[in-house]
Amino acid sequence: MDDLIRAIHTTPIIDNHAHPLLRPEATSKYLLLAITTEAHGGAMKTTHSSLSHIRAVRQLSEILGCGGTWDEFVKAIEMERSKPDDSWNKRCFQGIETALIDDGLDGEHEKQEKRIVRIENEAENIIQDLLRDANTTVDNFFEVFVKAVEEVILAALRDTEVVGFKSVICYRVGLAEPVCAGTNFEEECTNLFQNLQNQGAKLFKRIENEAINWALVYLTAQMIHDHPTPNDKRKPFQFHTGLGDNDITLTTASPSHLQPLMRKYPEVPFVLLHASYLFTQEAGYLAMVYENVYADIGEIFPFVSKEGQEKAVREILELCPSEKVLWSTDGQWFPETYLLATIQMREALEVVLPEYVKTKVLSISQAIKVVEDIFFSTSNNLYDLGLSMTALPLKAFPLGCSSSTSDLRELITFLADHPTTKSLRLQYLDYTATSNTHLHVGVTKAALGVLQNDTLIPGVSATGEYRLEAISSSLHPGPSAGFASLQCEFRNLDGSEVPICPRSTLKRIVSKAESHGLQFIIGFEIKIVFLSSDHEAQRTPLAGSSGHVWNSARALHNPKLLNMLAEISEALSTCGIDLETWHPESARGQYEFVLPPLPPLASLDTLIQAREIITTVAAKYDLRATLQPKPFKDQRGTAAHAHISISSPNGEDKNVYESFYQGILEALVAIIPFGYSNPTSYERAQDGVWSGGTWIAWGTQNRETVLRKIEGSHWEIKCLDGLANMYLAIAAIVAARTEGVVKKKKLIWADCGVDPATLDPEGREDFGIKEKIRDNLSDALGDLDGSAMMKDVLGAEVVERYVNVKRGEMKLLEGMSNGERWNWVVERY
């Protein structure tokens, strides 16, 4: 992928359509606001609140090193322009090999570039000259006018500095050609000249007559056809299509109106400018079906939002071969328009093309060719420029593109912000919920079938290899100085997903839920017990914690402990994990750290990184941080409760979220072995100790039920502890809930306001409470192994591998005493 990102940033650009800059003395006549909008006059008042404007100001402010307000940005621009050198302009044109200039607008360009002749301007200049020429009469105007136009076009065809022509007929009369267009050309020209003579030449601004405008277009196309270049090529004919200022009639701006012209002149290359926005798909279609049609995707950078730009790139590529796509800045008046266009186009390709690669739509080499075609090759061939493509030097943030989402750019950004980072930890969670680190990308296939003592379960061997794919969005500093960590997914050597990869399983389940319009945010509570060590390095209750109870201030009196807790909070914040709160919990040395709510995958990645940081900081103070579900026989256990809310627009609809939670209650017996994944887990799951109890039930603000409703779609899931592989546990929970919504299940359990364990059978019947969770892992695994639904939604391979690993783990623990098992868990979790 690095090769692709490098190509996006080092491929030189042929800007196939741009305009001159304003002369310095003319800049005050035009509003700088125009750099991100086609609006004029009063319509520009609201430009400051448009997404395109906000993004542009932010990007340019980052480059200029100024504050992000409009006033600060304007001052910084004025300061750059006041400098005696032209360094700012050079920076704005960085990466552009050459520009093809339509000089139909006022201004001048930085250097002489190739020209695009705008035919309407040439014709209008000729009319102005003829109006001032005393020898021109009504009777001879048409003949003289047509001859002069032909001479100008012929001169442009012979001029090697002119590489093409352009029409703005879209502005003048629209692209919908009347049936009679061109049939009364002479009559309309004569009438125009006569009227102008009567009214005065000064009143003439532009040709707005359908017959004359269309006649000029066909005359130009015919001459292009009749006069190929010495290389036997024909110079392209550009057309403004799609968006523009309010002078455009949008209903006649679609390029599809030009089909008669395309068919009549099949050897004349036609270029549809400006992505034909809002008709981008039509442009892609026309460029696909007509050999002589090409699609430009300029002007939408920076006039359209980031998402709109990415959508336009996708739409143009839906049908159009990349060899028919070319790009332009449409830069005009202000050099910043060139800069923004190049920044944002590269960013759009950084998003779209890696997606195509990851989904196997394109290979890396094919995606690189798309970049080269759009930026350079198509224009180079079409305009017969004869340029050689020489890669630009790769620089970190050559143009300040900090909003890119590419893996390479995220890593570059991270390393720039954290220069002390020396090593990257590639992390993954295996089926025993052990957090593993790897310092290279190759990992044995046995990694997903190994127990905590490095023995393999039956049916798994140490042959074969997976690749670890680091997930750039999970990149965080820590857990110790000089390190940064990334969560990984397993991949086959061909890049395809490994079906039994825990993180990939959750990603697949979340994607399915989103396809049904369901989105979630999840917040975890991390409960940790800190243990001391005696002189023989045996773990003992935290020194000085005998008076420790829930939320007790006494639990915060120890200065050494407070220093450690403060360091944990600071380390998490440095890592980008800002705790909602932290406080003492019930057991000795037990504290709870509440993480912020995030989308599922980000929430799980954050949970794992936070645990690693807490454990690492505690070790500096010679303390052991453990997730042991039942650290002390006579005290409360240690859970890992999850808070889930439906964040999609319909999430607070009772019919939606009650179906959502009905799904989990129905499937709970198959979910339990994921949440309670170790024999020790069942020692914690007791009635009357706020653990969620042993009955399948729910209740509003009831901590003795496995599901606690807090408000609306915000519910807490209590049947989880720190020994669970949370990717698999949350995948099972989300999958079951999604089934509930898709099948519109009704919530048949009633809101239980008491501890279900205190009710008699009749009392529980009133709440629909009929079943208890299993009291041991072996039976729970049997329920999971027999669940056709869970095998269907998670994948039979995932369920089979999980059950086999857990049974192997149980066998490993069977020969240990209670004390040995306690130590085993403490040292590993």
Mean pLDDT of 520-549: 81
Are 405 and 351 in contact, with CB atoms under 8 Å apart? yes
Residue indicated by tokens 């090759």: 377
Examine residue 332 and state whether it is found in any structural domain, yes or no: no
Q: What are phi and psi of 473, to 5 degrees?
A: -70, -15
If asked whether residues 526 and 432 sit together in one domain, one would say: no
Give the domain-ending residue among 327, 362, 388: 327
Please tell me the predicted confidence (pLDDT) of residue 419: 84
Q: How far is CA 581 from the centre of its chain?
A: 30
Please count the CA atoms within 13 angstroms of the CA of 389 that sit on its side-chain side: 18
pLDDT tens track for 394-406: 554 343 333 344 5
Instruction: Yes or no: say if 733 and 443 are a contact pair by the CB < 8 Å rule.
Output: no
What distance lies between CA 128 and its chain's CA centroid? 52
Cα separation of 789 and 795, whole Å? 9
Q: pLDDT tens digits, residue range 346-365? A: 999 999 999 898 888 989 89
Query: Residue 12: inside a domain, yes or no?
Result: no
> 6-20, 30-44, 533-547: which has the minimum mean pLDDT?
533-547
**pLDDT tens-place string over residues 196-249:** 887 766 677 888 888 899 999 999 999 999 999 988 899 999 999 998 888 889
Distance CA 294, CA 285 (A): 10
My answer on whether 525 and 456 are in the same domain is no
Span 508-525, average pLDDT: 87
Dihedral over alpha carbons 161, 165, 168, 172 (to 10 degrees): 110
Are 429 and 674 in contact by the 8 Å Cβ rule? The answer is no
Neighbours of 535 (CB within 10 A): 5
Q: What percent of the chain has pLDDT over 70?
A: 94
| Helix (H/G/I), strand (E/B), else coil: 121 | helix
Say yes or no: 492 and 530 in one domain: no
Q: What are phi and psi of 387, to 5 degrees?
A: -90, 155
The answer to whether residues 633 and 650 belong to one domain is yes
Could you tell me the maximum CA-CA distance found in the chain, to the nearest angstrom?
A: 116
pLDDT in tens, 306-332: 999 999 999 999 999 999 999 999 887
| Residue whose pair of structure tokens reads 């008709």 in the numeric block | 279
How would you classify the pairing of strands 114-118 and 483-491? unpaired
Q: What CA–CA distance (Å, rounded) separates 726 from 729?
A: 5
Instruction: Assess whether 554 and 604 both reside in one domain.
Output: yes
Structural domain total, the chain: 3
pLDDT value of residue 397: 37
What whole-number distance in Å separates Cα of residue 329 and Cα of residue 274?
9
Helix axes 119-132, 141-158, angle to 10 degrees: 140
Q: Which of 488, 506, 524 is the last residue of a domain?
A: 506
- Is 767 in contact with 709 (CB distance < 8 Å)? no
pTM for this predicted structure: 0.58
CATH (domain of 462)? 3.10.20.70
14-47 core/surface letters (b: 16 or more CB in 10 A; e: else) = bbbbbbbbbeeeebeeeeebbbbbebeeeeeeeb
pLDDT at 819: 86
- 590-603 confidence digits (pLDDT tens): 889 999 999 999 99
CA distance 315 to 295: 11
Look at residue 729 and tell me whether its pLDDT is greater than 60: yes
Say if CB 243 and CB 303 are below 8 A apart. Answer: yes
Specify whether 180 is located in the same domain as 289.
yes
Sign of torsion, CA 55 56 60 65? Answer: negative
CATH code (residue 239): 3.20.20.140
**Domain containing 201: what range?**
110-327
Query: What is the reported pLDDT for 409?
Result: 66
Residue 768 domain flag: yes
* Phi, psi at 521, each rounded to 5°: -125, 145
Strand 114-118 with 162-167, pairing: parallel
pLDDT of residue 535: 56
Residue 341 inside a domain? The answer is no
- The residue whose two tokens read 């256990």 is 637
Contacts of 221 (CB under 8 A, 6+ apart): 237, 261, 264, 265, 268
Written as six digits, the tokens of 62 are 């980052």
Altogether, the residues listed in the chain come to a count of 829
Q: Assess contact for 254 and 175: CB atoms under 8 A.
A: yes
CATH number at residue 644: 3.30.590.10
Averaged pLDDT of the chain: 86
Pairwise CA distance, residues 660 & 794, whole Å:
17
pLDDT at 28: 64
Query: Last residue of a domain, which of 327, 352, 374?
Result: 327
Residue 703 has pLDDT above 80, yes or no: yes
**Domain identity same for 734 and 631:** yes
Closest CA to 721 of 790, 810, 634, 628: 628
Cis-peptide into 278, omega within 30 deg: yes
Contacts of 148 (CB under 8 A, 6+ apart): 126, 129, 130
| Structural domain contains residue 309 | yes
C-alpha 381/C-alpha 321 separation (Å) is 15
pLDDT on residue 157: 95
Phi, psi of 821 (to 5 degrees): -65, -40
Q: Are residues 533 and 486 in the same domain?
A: no
pLDDT at 431 over 90: yes
Same domain for 630 and 571: yes
3-class SS of residue 368: helix
Tokens matching residue 647 = 């964040």
Which residues have CB under 8 Å from 527's CB, separation 6+?
585, 590, 591, 592, 627, 638, 639, 640, 641, 722
Q: Is the pLDDT of residue 294 over 60?
A: yes
Residue 116, in any domain of the structure:
yes
Q: Compare 272 and 359 and report the one with higher pLDDT.
A: 272
The answer to whether residues 45 and 447 touch, using CB atoms and an 8 Å cutoff, is: no
> What are the two backbone dihedrals, phi and then psi, of residue 76, each rounded to the nearest 5 degrees?
-65, -40
- Mean pLDDT (whole number) for 530-535: 78
Cα–Cα dist 338/35, whole Å: 9
- Report the pLDDT value the prediction gives residue 402, as an integer from 0 to 100: 36
The token duo for 389 is: 């493509």
Nearest alpha-carbon partner for 804 in 447, 450, 429, 445: 450
Residues 540 and 467 in one domain: no
For residue 367, the one-letter residue type is A
Contact 93, 109 (CB under 8 A): no
Whether 231 maps to a domain, the answer reads yes
Q: Mark out the alpha helices in 575-705 (DSSP H runs).
A: 600-620, 654-675, 681-684
Is 300 a member of any domain? yes
CA geometry: angle 579, 583, 589, nearest 5 deg: 120
Domain match, 496 and 541 both: no
DSSP 240-274: --S--STTS-GGG--GGGGHHHHHH-TTS-EEE-G
Q: Give the rounded distance of the alpha carbon of 63 from its chain centre.
A: 22
Q: Which DSSP helix (H) or strand (E) runs through 510?
A: helix 502-515
Residue 133 DSSP code: -
Query: Which pLDDT value is given to residue 385?
Result: 93
Of 60-69, 277-286, 567-576, 767-776, the least confident: 60-69
| Neighbour count for residue 51 (Cβ, 10 Å) | 13
Task: Provide φ and ψ at 724, rounded to 5°.
Answer: -80, 145
Q: What is the dihedral of CA 630, 636, 640, 644, to 10 degrees?
A: 150
Statement to judge: residues 498 and 532 lie in one domain: no
Torsion-angle region of residue 694: left (phi > 0), alpha (psi -120 to 50) or beta? alpha
- For residues 826 and 829, what is the distance between their CA atoms, to the nearest angstrom? 6
Give the pLDDT score at 403.
Answer: 37
